[in-house]
């Protein structure tokens, strides 16, 4: 069973995508009484037409989701137009720390969505008794998915043909790996000018903020939900996907005890193996600076 904590935009849509994929049964929970039950019922009433092979149910009792095979954490506040993701730390941190202490089934894998993502993944791992290989944050895969869309849309080629890789922090200082961006195995340099590549990379960095600006009252959720469902599927079906996820680093690029996105081989037990892409010295410095900023955010908040 896949448990989803938080049944707002991301939580509910992740449940819907999981049902459409038929990955596993889903239980939704939200602190707002009745919300999870109501949304689950609504989605199940679409089942006769959509033909789900799995069920979605809602509960007001958190204990019914805490020891799920996979827990997807989507509880917390979203940013408003003009707001940086880090500004959500004070608001969301207690929620994440609370669940880190309450999830005690040693077989549970946790997918963290709540922002600021890499900070939340770091503090969740700090407070949790689970091995860090079972704690995955939704960061680089979403950024890479957005970049894939932008490249495919620019070139008017099939999105399936476009591959991209993004590592580092899920903020403006994400690292978009140009040498790993290709169209049907060929470098994007064969298809796009230098200027256009820079423009698409900048659009990817600002993709989340642009949606918040446009939508006004909600942050992005279809893209993030699709990625959360993809990660849960990769774990449940053990399909050997290599995906960029935020994870507590263990010496990679000289960084320890801080979560940042790097590609990882995903399996039934979470992260099977971390894959270190080739980075330039500048990219390694950006990665280290990101790690320092995460540590600083956590330290400053603990003194606030
Ligand atoms: P939302 O406001 O639609 O839903 C959040 C839900 O969390 C609400 O229903 C609220 O009642 C619930 N909640 C609050 N505290 C709770 C608690 N202690 N236990 C259980 N439920 C609780 O927000 P959303 O759009 O679904 O986004 C959810 C989180 O995901 C936000 O922090 C947002 O910033 C983050 N997010 C991250 C990414 C990413 O790329 N990692 C992308 C989109 C959104």
Task: Of 23-27, 161-165, 217-221, 232-236, give the lowest mean pLDDT range.
Answer: 217-221
Within 6 A (CB) of ligand 1 lie 5-11, 30-32, 35, 74-79, 88, 92, 95, 113-115, 117, 138, 142, 170, 219-221, 224
Residue bearing the bigger pLDDT, 28 or 86? 28
Closest atom, ligand 1, to C-alpha of 10: 26
What separation in Å is there between the alpha carbon of 11 and the centre of ligand 1?
7
- pLDDT tens for each residue of 77-86: 887 777 777 7
How far apart (Å, rounded) are the C-alpha atoms in residues 126 and 101? 10
Non-local CB neighbours of 68 within 8 Å, separated by 6+ positions:
1, 2, 3, 27, 105, 108
pLDDT at 70 over 90: yes
* pLDDT-derived band at 19, boundaries 50, 70, 90: very high
Q: Token match 């549970």: residue? A: 108
- CATH code matching the domain that covers 2-137, chosen among 3.40.50.720, 1.10.287.130, 3.40.30.10, 3.90.1150.10: 3.40.50.720
What separation in Å is there between the alpha carbon of 75 and the centre of ligand 1?
4
Domain ranges of the chain: 2-137, 140-302
* pLDDT-derived band at 87, boundaries 50, 70, 90: confident
Helix 194-205 vs helix 140-155: crossing angle, to nearest 10: 140
Chain centroid to Cα 140, Å, comes to: 7
Is residue 303 part of the annotated active site? The answer reads no
Q: Are 125 and 135 in contact (CB under 8 A)?
A: yes
Do the first three CATH levels of 2-137 and 140-302 match, i.e. the same topology?
Answer: no
Question: Domain 140-302: which CATH class?
Answer: alpha beta
Q: Are 122 and 257 in contact (CB under 8 A)?
A: yes
pLDDT at 21 over 90: yes
Q: Supply the residue whose CA is at minimum distance from atom 34 of ligand 1.
A: 78
- pLDDT tens for each residue of 241-295: 999 999 999 999 999 999 999 999 999 999 999 999 999 999 999 999 999 999 9
């Amino acid at each position: 069973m896949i448990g989803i904590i938080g049944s707002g935009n991301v939580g509910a849509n992740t449940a819907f995508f999981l049902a459409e994929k038929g990955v596993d049964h889903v239980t939704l929970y939200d602190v707002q009484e009745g919300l999870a039950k109501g949304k689950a019922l609504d989605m199940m009433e679409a089942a006769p037409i959509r033909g789900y092979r799995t069920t979605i149910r809602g509960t007001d009792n958190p204990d019914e989701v805490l020891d799920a095979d996979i827990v997807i954490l989507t509880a917390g506040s979203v940013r408003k137009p003009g707001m940086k993701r880090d500004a959500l730390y004070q608001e969301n941190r207690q929620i994440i720390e609370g669940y880190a202490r309450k999830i005690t089934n040693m077989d549970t894998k946790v997918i963290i969505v709540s922002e600021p993502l890499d900070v939340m993944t770091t503090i969740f791992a700090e407070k949790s008794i689970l091995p860090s290989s079972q704690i995955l944050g939704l960061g680089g895969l979403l950024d890479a998915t957005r970049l894939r869309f932008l490249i495919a849309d620019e070139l008017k080629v099939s999105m399936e043909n476009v591959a991209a890789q993004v590592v580092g922090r899920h903020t403006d200082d994400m690292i978009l790996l140009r040498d790993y961006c290709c169209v049907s195995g060929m470098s994007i340099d064969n298809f796009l000018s230098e200027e256009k590549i820079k423009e698409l990379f900048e659009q990817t960095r600002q993709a989340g903020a642009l949606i918040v600006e446009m939508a006004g009252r909600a942050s992005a959720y279809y893209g993030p939900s699709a990625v959360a469902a993809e990660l849960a599927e990769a774990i449940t079906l053990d399909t050997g996907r290599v995906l960029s996820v935020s994870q507590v680093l263990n010496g990679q690029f000289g960084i320890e005890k801080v979560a940042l996105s790097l590609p990882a081989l995903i399996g039934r037990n979470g992260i099977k193996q971390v894959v270190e892409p080739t980075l330039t010295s500048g990219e390694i410095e950006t990665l280290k600076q990101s790690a320092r900023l995460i540590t600083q955010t956590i330290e400053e908040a603990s003194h606030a």
